[in-house]
């Protein structure tokens, strides 16, 4: 389930910025060749960054990529590491919920006052802000799920697993992940003619 959500979020994230890159390229060409501007690339770029950031929050959480200041973490008693790892997930879930809660009022204000962007497009802000709110709600739900799992691990005595899943990533974890990714990519890559010839010669 986690891998499926992470994969689809990654696809959506990539498509957003692929479309933005195409738009910026088109804008650059027609400005240079025809001296005409679409007058919306900057606006769409801002929306893309806002929405993309909310997706990145969830992706970073599932990949344990959020920054943790762990200078003293490994030198603390094991029981204190467990408590801090548990509290870090709870605090992140609370913060994600707060962001989604406040964003809801921002969207409601834009809808009530019929706010529009200060650009030639005059886009009703309720639409891009609605997508932004949806991304924050997704982040809050993912964070709440992680907080629930961490709490279950904490109070069911599986604290070693709690540290493995929610503790700061060590250098060894990052190296192992890179090696596994490299191994997967190498196994999926087609054999080159030189590799086939070398294999035949060895046979």
Question: What's the average model confidence in pLDDT over 155-182?
Answer: 78
pLDDT of residue 197: 46
Question: What's the average model confidence in pLDDT over 195-199?
Answer: 45
pLDDT 10s digits, 110-167? 999 999 988 778 889 999 999 999 999 999 999 999 999 999 999 988 888 888 888 8
Contact status, residue 153 vs residue 159, Cβ threshold 8 Å: yes
pLDDT-based confidence at residue 199 (cuts at 50, 70, 90): very low
pLDDT 10s digits, 72-119? 877 889 888 889 999 999 999 999 999 999 999 999 999 999 999 887
Q: Look at residues 45, 3, 55 and name the one whose alpha carbon lies nearest to residue 22.
A: 45
Q: What is the pTM of this model?
A: 0.77
DSSP, residue by residue, the chain = -HHHHHHHHHHHHHHHHHHHHHHHHHHHHHHHHH----S-HHHHHHHHHHHHHHHHHHHHHHTT-S----TTGGGS-HHHHHHHHHHHHHHHHHHHHHHHHHHHHHHHHHHHHT-B-SSTT--BTHHHHHHHHHHHHHHHHHHHHHHHHHHHHHHTT-HHHHHHHHSPPPHHHHHHHHHHHHHHHHHHSPPPHHHHHHHHHH-
pLDDT of residue 194: 44
Tell me the domain boundaries of the chain: 2-172
pLDDT 10s digits, 27-41? 888 888 888 777 777
pLDDT of residue 190: 55
């Amino acid at each position: 389930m986690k891998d499926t959500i992470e994969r689809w979020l990654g696809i959506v994230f990539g498509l957003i910025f692929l479309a933005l890159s195409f738009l910026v390229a088109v804008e650059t060409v027609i400005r240079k060749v025809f001296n005409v501007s679409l007058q919306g690339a900057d606006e769409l770029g801002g929306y893309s960054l806002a929405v993309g950031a909310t997706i990145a929050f969830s992706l970073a959480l599932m990949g344990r990529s959020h920054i943790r200041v762990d200078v003293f973490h490994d030198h603390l008693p094991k029981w204190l590491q467990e408590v801090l790892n548990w509290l870090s997930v709870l605090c992140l879930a609370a913060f994600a919920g707060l962001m989604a809660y406040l964003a809801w009022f921002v969207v409601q204000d834009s809808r009530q006052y019929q706010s529009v962007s200060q650009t030639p497009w005059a886009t009703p802000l309720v639409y891009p802000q609605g997508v932004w709110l949806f991304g924050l709600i997704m982040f809050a739900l993912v964070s709440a799920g992680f907080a629930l799992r961490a709490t279950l691990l904490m109070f069911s005595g599986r604290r070693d697993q709690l540290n493995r899943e929610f503790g700061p990533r060590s250098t060894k974890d990052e190296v192992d992940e890179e090696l596994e990714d490299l191994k997967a990519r190498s196994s999926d890559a087609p054999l080159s003619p030189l590799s086939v010839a070398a294999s035949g010669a060895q046979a």
